[in-house]
Amino acid sequence: MALPPNTSEAEFASALAEFAAVVGNDWVFSSEEDVALYRDSYSIYWGEPEERVASAALAPANVEQVQQIVRIANKFRIPLYPISTGRNLTYGGSAPTLSGSVVVDLKRMNRILEVDEDRHFALVEPGVSYFDLYNHITERGLKVMLDVPDPGWGSPIGNSLDHGVGYTMAPFRDHFGSHCGMEVVTPEGEIIRTGNGALPGSESWQEYRYGVGPSVDGLFAQSNFGIVTKMGFWLMPLPETFLTGTVTVPRYQDFDALIKEVSYLEDSFLIGMPRYGSPVRGSDFLGGSPAVGRLMENGWPSTDRLEDFVRAERLPAWSVMLPFYGPEETVRASWAAAKRRFAARIPGAAFQDGELSRLPLPRDVAERFPLKPNVGIPALEVFGMVARNPLTDSDPSDGHADFFTFVPRKAAAVSEAARVLAETYAEMGLPPLHNPFITPINYYSRCFIVATVVPTWRDPVKNARSRALFSRIIDRVAERNWGTYRTAPAFQEQAVSKFSFNNNSLLRFQEKLKDSIDPNGIISPGRYGIWPASMRNRRA
Amino acid sequence: MKTATLAVSFFAAAVSNVGVAQTAPSAENGKVIYNKWCVYCHGAVAPAEGPGALPGTSALSVKYKGRLPAVLEERTDLASEFIRAVVRGGLFGMPITRKTEINDAELADVIAYLTGEKQ
């Protein structure tokens, strides 16, 4: 059984007894069997000494219990690691950054405190999942639409605090960006409310997020400055309809013009999240058709070769699916305007009208709707991409580690990122997943993500290979001055080290805050590279 | 009258709770828990494989190739200990499920549902 750092078994037993007096014996998990439930199922160090494991877990029922837990942790200098639903798999799951931490499992704090369908916001606790909030809204017929990430078992609070994303209109896809008002238990056990929540009795906590003076909300995301116990979120009014339209363009070199036009529509708030594709690539996700594989056999092809390839395949080089939200009159008008603009700027652009759906979808239609996240329906279907499939049937992975790098919204940047990733795979002796037809993901509306997925295993030999690849990818993209926006604890230190402008002045500033706000270093030590002073020598 | 009704309801609830602790797992409640936690991956809605497939059903379809049903609720061969081990330990892409999500009594109910007569 792991112990908290610098804590004897007797001290830990005393601390657990005090924790139990707060949350009750049933909600202190300290047996080996129970603590194992807090392992990261997708750990890239599974079963190795470096795997991050908890010493115990506590499941408080309310904010007062969280305050008391924090005070006890200060008394015993025991590190805590709060989780909301603990389902941010590939980013650490429910396991702590520092082994020996006591996980504070907030799943029992699962109240939906308010959903206002006229002012379009929700106020929730950390244990509320997207499934819970969706069911609450649909069962009551409330006229608001959620923005959901791919895994519906995550929580609005956890996902936003991890800078997670969704699929609808730009202001809602950025889940942290669409929050309004937080309640936080500080490392000293005090409750603060941000924005207008600091006004006693405020009726606009979820409507004005800045209050007066400095806004501190950002300190509580991807960090270790407090435990968030409530959070408000702006919601989109339920659109009357949802319409899609798909644009295809014929040539490889049309991608830049396509991106520019889509960005115009996106930044004008005329469309939701565009979904780029490449019909000639022959696959929706990385890889590509055997023909693309043959094209790549002699290294990265020239532009002329790519144009020849596209012509020979007789398929469009690129596509983009555009989603429209609103009354039928406006979505049809927006799609018509979009077609006019593409046709005027890209010779050979072609269009395919999608079906118009009236919202909310009837339940039986919603269950089978192919674009669930685009209309705020939580699901888990994304895991199908990494579940056992005919290609992996003989050796399916046990998990995956996602790597997303951010690049400018330009065709050249996407191509360059794909090439860097392909070269990194080749350098590591692996077949390339990336080719010149890789398309970006546009979760955050103002930049592109180019992604790769590395398998994780419960086999240390295979995991060692995955770690080497993942680490090398971080280094290679950093050589091009690109970073990643989140990663599992195993790589947080390395990812943060790339944001080193002016001798790591940002991290040094964060450390000064840590020393002041959390002098005993009890909240999530090491999360995203921020160590308390007493542990700063742990940094690589 | 209202007070009396409440009192009776409270008494019934108290009796019921005691009963839960002393009686066999409830397949009926297991179905409720299954529909809350399991069905998003292991449901029967959607194609067995390919676009739009549910990950658990799809993975088992690939694995068993028709030798066994891909939908868990159609299986008749699942052993209690196997279900418990997979829920608590995870298997391939399926992650560990904590007791704050499905507690031991609820897991027993799910097992009763999956190993007993489906309703």
pLDDT tens profile A196-219:
999 999 999 999 999 999 999 999
Closest chain B CA to residue A107? B100
Residues of chain B contacting A387 with CB distance shorter than 8 Å: 55-56, 58-59, 92-93
The model's pTM is 0.94
Average pLDDT rounded to a whole number, residues A502-511: 97
Asked which of A181-195, A310-324, A450-464, B11-25 is least confident by mean pLDDT, the reply is B11-25
Q: How confident is the model at residue B10 (pLDDT cuts 50, 70, 90)?
A: very low
Nearest Cβ partner for A41 among B53, B62, B90: B90
Q: Decide the pairing of beta strands A80-83 and A102-105.
A: parallel
Residue contacts between A and B (CB atoms, under 8 Å): 94
Distance CA A249, CA A426 (A): 30
Does A389 contact chain B (CB < 8 Å)?
Answer: yes
For residues A47 and A458, the answer to whether their CB atoms sit within 8 Å is: yes
Determine the pLDDT at residue B53: 85
Q: Do B93 and A153 touch (CB under 8 A)?
A: no
Segment holding A58, helix H or strand E = strand A56-58
Question: What is the DSSP track for A27-47?
Answer: GEE-SHHHHGGGS-TT-TTTT
To the nearest whole Å, the CA of A230 is away from the closest chain B CA by 19
pLDDT per residue over A122-178, tens digit each?
A: 999 999 999 999 999 999 999 999 999 999 999 999 999 999 999 999 999 999 999
Q: Do A379 and B40 touch (CB under 8 A)?
A: yes
Q: Is A54 helix (H, G, I), strand (E, B) or coil?
A: coil
Q: Do B88 and A393 touch (CB under 8 A)?
A: no
pLDDT per residue over A353-396, tens digit each?
A: 999 999 999 999 998 899 999 999 999 998 887 888 888 888 99
- B49-62 burial string, b = 16+ CB within 10 Å, else e? beebbbbbbbbbbb
3-state secondary structure A123-178: EECCCCCHHHHHHHHHHHCCCEECCCCCECCCCHHHHHHCCCECCCCHHHHECCCC
Residues of chain B contacting A400 with CB distance shorter than 8 Å: 93
Q: Which two tokens stand for residue A260?
A: 């520019």
Residue type, A149: P
Check pLDDT > 80 for residue A17: yes
Mean of the per-residue pLDDT values for chain A? Answer: 96
Check pLDDT > 70 for residue B13: no
Q: Which two tokens stand for residue A433?
A: 């997943």
Q: Is A366 helix (H, G, I), strand (E, B) or coil?
A: helix
Q: How confident is the model at residue B118 (pLDDT cuts 50, 70, 90)?
A: low
User: How far, in whole angstroms, is CA A289 from its chain's centroid?
Assistant: 29
Average pLDDT rounded to a whole number, residues A75-103: 97
To the nearest whole Å, the CA of B66 is away from the closest chain A CA by 14
Q: Do A37 and B95 touch (CB under 8 A)?
A: no
Determine the pLDDT at residue A539: 58
Distance CA A78, CA A101 (A): 7
Question: What is the DSSP track for A180-220?
Answer: EEEEEE-TTS-EEE-GGGGSTT-S-TTT-S--SS---GGGG
Per-window interface: A 460-519 vs B, CB < 8 A: none
pLDDT per residue over A305-349, tens digit each?
A: 999 999 999 999 999 999 999 999 999 999 999 999 999 999 999
Closest chain B CA to residue A388? B59
Nearest Cβ partner for A37 among B46, B62, B96: B96
Residue with the two structure tokens 């005070």: A71
Phi, psi of A244 (to 5 degrees): -120, 155
To the nearest whole Å, the CA of B54 is away from the closest chain A CA by 5
To the nearest whole Å, the CA of B116 is away from the closest chain A CA by 26
pLDDT per residue over A226-269, tens digit each?
A: 999 999 999 999 999 999 999 999 999 999 999 999 999 999 99
Does A396 contact chain B (CB < 8 Å)?
Answer: yes
Per-window interface: A 269-308 vs B, CB < 8 A: 284
Nearest Cβ partner for A368 among B45, B59, B96: B45
Segment holding A75, helix H or strand E = helix A63-76
Question: What is the DSSP track for A252-277?
Answer: GGGHHHHHHHHHHHHHTTSSS--EEE
Nearest Cβ partner for B41 among A41, A57, A380: A380
CA angle, A396 then A397 then A398, to 5°:
125
Determine the pLDDT at residue A191: 98
Nearest Cβ partner for B59 among A152, A284, A388: A388
Closest chain A CA to residue B89? A37
